[in-house]
A and B are shown apart, each in its own frame.
Chain A
Amino acid sequence: MTAPLDKTAGDAPSPTDRAPEAIKAIPVRHYGRYVSAVIVLALLGLIVNAFAVADLTWGSVGDFFFDDQIMEGVKNTLVVSVLSMLMGLVLGIVLAVMRMSKNPVTSSVAWGYIWFFRGTPVYVQLLLWFNLALIFPVLNLGPIYKDEMTDVMTPFVAALLGLGLNEAAYMAEICRAGIQSVDEGQTEASQALGMTNGQNMRRIVLPQAMRVIVPPTGNEFINLLKTSALCSVVQYEEVLRKAQNIGNTSSAVVEMLFVATLWFLVITTIFSIGQFYLERHYARGSSRQLPATPWQRARQLVFTFSRGTGSGAGR
């Protein structure tokens, strides 16, 4: 045991020395992990079994999944979510810029807007928009436009305004946080190069702010998709309302709720994948190595297994 020690102490190891044999140790056994895995699987099995024996006609979930009414509802959900997100994004950027403005009037107005729309439930806001005709029977924009409020405030318009204006308040705070996260030295550098404030914002600050803005915006959008289910209170025919309509007439109430649930999962999954690629795009330059796409990871995994050395992660 002491002989090799003495040797290394005697003469300094030179890089030409043969590398020592790789360590082949017997790994520690984690018995706790086996136990907990068994418990979790058992509980999962109980839940699956409960649904299997429940009084459900699984067939009708499949039958109605691509039903015309349901598809119409899915389309409406997507339309109102995407449009109100766009509305929230545009208005949110405007509010963020107003909030950071040196003009006290614009910044206070932006503050007040955010205070009101973040401080009240979106459910109440939807109802307020929908019932606007009760206090303003006629929409009168002077010489430009004049019409009965009930004709203007359709369920779609009420849903769009309720979700979009509410979303703008959240997006404003997200955009402001993003813009303020960019180091001041960046603005100084672009000013020193002779860029105007607009050029600095567009080319230097916003692209870097996007890295901070995109992830919470993706979460906001997924939240918004789910919140759009509330629009049924203003008679907007989104996927949940359509599903409930069918459920009430065919007495497959829970089955139809499952249809709506699955559709929400499908949509949010698709958008989560989109978000991953968007975040990857804006990570350029900030992380030395971009995160692998699922496709790249799958290929890596296959490659590792096919080598079959069993030496753990592929290097």
Chain B
Amino acid sequence: MNAMVKAEAVHKSFGPLEVLKGINLEVAPQEVFCIVGPSGSGKSTFLRCINHLEKINAGRLYVDGTLVGYREHGNKLYELRDREVAAQRRDIGMVFQRFNLFPHMTAVENVMEAPVLVKGVSKAKARERARAMLDRVGLGDKTDSYPSQLSGGQQQRVAIARALAMEPKLMLFDEPTSALDPELVGEVLDVMRDLAEDGMTMIVVTHEMGFAREVGDSLVFMDDGVVVESGHPRDVLTNPQHERTKSFLSKVL
């Protein structure tokens, strides 16, 4: 079976600061793949490399068998044009820590914007599907609210619906519950759990160890730009092998 995401020795630096120091991993289709680690370990940066929001400096990164951000001809790499990069991103949904909803649009407009603009879906059809999508995340009654009128948990669920509206084959979650009040975390995790049950391929950067153990199929622990330990979430979280993993988990669990 082809991997949905394949990283080979991925390096990334911001100026003199090396953030990713050779990441190797594979994410299988329909898998829920969790990334945990201390802040500054490079996990969010790695996630952003997958849809080319950040350019990698060395290594190769493939999504569904296609190189991200470049075209390889012979032994040479050619940068893709902005338009081509945009086309690659259509199939990869992303959910941000700070939601990043479009504040000048209502919930339903947020969800229908990209299908209409990028995929050329008719407005009536996109609106109908956006309503269904909002219904799915439990916000059928909030379609005409602006983001500022919604709670953090509701905003994040709209953001998930917005990503799903593009019918992605892969979803990236960048600490989706970190900016939420504790009592609102559950509603977002519930939506993600449903999504996992429907067979969506998901890469989740998270601090929610409970979610990772319960829903995750694999888990990697990253520290200082490298993958320290990987395996099934239950094994890594309950029986960590490396000292760094142990000390991190002892602090967060």
CB-defined contacts of B90 to chain A, threshold 8 Å: 193-194
Chain B residues with Cβ below 8 Å from A192 are 51, 53, 89, 92-94, 96, 163
Interface residues on A, range: 20 to 34
Q: Is A185 an interface residue (CB 8 A)?
A: yes
Selected contact of A207 from candidates B86, B89, B104, CB within 8 Å: B104
Is B252 engaged at the interface, CB distance under 8 Å to the other chain?
no
Contact of A195 with B86 at beta-carbon distance under 8 Å, contacts A185-B96, A185-B100, A189-B96 already known: yes
**Contact yes or no, A285 B86, CB < 8 A:** no
Residues of A within 8 A of B93 (CB): 192
User: Could you say which residues of chain B place their CB within 8 Å of the CB of A287?
Assistant: 148
Chain A CB within 8 A of B211 CB: no
Chain A facing B: main interface SS = helix
Stretch at the interface among B6-14, B112-120, B129-137, B213-221: B112-120
| Contact with A193, one of B82, B105, B162 (Cβ below 8 angstroms) | B162
Closest to A183 in B: B100
Q: Are B100 and A188 in contact (CB under 8 A)?
A: yes
Interface string of A154-193 (1 = CB under 8 A from B): 0000000000000000000000000000010110111111
**Cβ proximity bits A189-214 to B, threshold 8 Å, 1 near / 0 not:** 11111111101000110011000000
Q: Which A residues are in CB contact (< 8 Å) with B106?
A: 285
Point out the residues of chain A lying under 8 angstroms from B70, CB to CB. Answer: none
B113 & A203 in contact (Cβ 8 Å cutoff): yes
A197 touches B146 (CB 8 A): no
A309 within 8 A of B: no
A188 close to B104 (CB less than 8 A):
no
Q: Which residues of A contact B94 (CB under 8 A)?
A: 189, 192
Known: A185-B96, A186-B102. A191 touches B86 (CB 8 A): yes
Q: How far is the CA of A204 from the CA of B113 in the complex (A)?
A: 10
Any chain B CB within 8 A of the CB of A288?
A: yes
Q: Bin the interface of chain B by size.
A: 20 to 34
**Cβ contact of A189, chosen from B102, B118, B146, B148, cutoff 8 A:** B102
Choose among A193, A194, A199, A288 the residue that contacts B148 (Cβ–Cβ < 8 A). Answer: A288
B53 close to A203 (CB less than 8 A): no
Q: Is A103 an interface residue (CB 8 A)?
A: no
| Interface hits, A34-77 → B, CB 8 Å | none
B118 pairs with A197, CB closer than 8 A: no
Q: Which residues of A contact B96 (CB under 8 A)?
A: 185, 188-189, 192
Shortest C-beta distance, A15 to chain B (Å), equals: 22
B81-128 interface with A by 8 A CB criterion = 82-83, 86-87, 89-90, 92-94, 96, 98, 100-106, 113-114, 117-118
Contact with A along B62-95 (1 / 0, CB 8 A): 0000000000000000000011001101101110
Q: Are A194 and B103 in contact (CB under 8 A)?
A: no
Q: Is B178 an interface residue (CB 8 A)?
A: no
Q: Is A284 an interface residue (CB 8 A)?
A: yes
Q: How far is the CB of B47 from chain A (nearest CB, A)?
A: 11
A285 lies within 8 A of B166 (CB): no
Is A193 a contact of B103 with CB atoms below 8 Å? Answer: no
Contact A286 B148 (CB under 8 A): yes
- Nearest CB in chain A: distance from B249 CB, A: 30
B176 contacts across to A, CB distance below 8 A: none
Instruction: Report chain B residues within 8 Å CB of A288.
Output: 148-149
Please report the C-alpha to C-alpha distance between residue A103 and residue B105 in the assembled complex, in whole angstroms.
Answer: 33
Q: Does B233 contact A (CB under 8 A)?
A: no
For the complex, what is the distance from the CA of A191 to the CA of B69, rounded to whole Å? 13
* Residues A197 and B82 in contact, CB atoms below 8 Å apart: yes
| Shortest CB distance B143–A (Å) | 14
B82 in contact with A196 (CB, 8 Å): yes
B147 within 8 Å of A (CB atoms): yes
- Chain B residues with Cβ below 8 Å from A183 are 100
Closest chain-B Cβ to A120's Cβ sits at a distance in Å of 38
Closest Cβ–Cβ distance, residue B42 to chain A (whole Å):
18
Q: List 11 A-B contacts (CB under 8 A).
A: A185-B98, A189-B102, A189-B159, A192-B92, A194-B86, A194-B114, A194-B118, A195-B117, A197-B82, A199-B117, A199-B118
Name B residues whose Cβ lies closer than 8 Å to a Cβ of A: 51, 53, 82-83, 86-87, 89-90, 92-94, 96, 98, 100-106, 113-114, 117-118, 146-149, 159, 162-163, 166
Q: Nearest 8 pairs between A and B by C-beta?
A: A194-B90, A189-B100, A192-B94, A193-B114, A185-B100, A285-B146, A194-B89, A285-B104
Task: A185-B96, A192-B92 given; name 7 further pairs at CB < 8 Å.
Answer: A185-B98, A186-B102, A194-B89, A194-B114, A195-B86, A195-B117, A196-B86
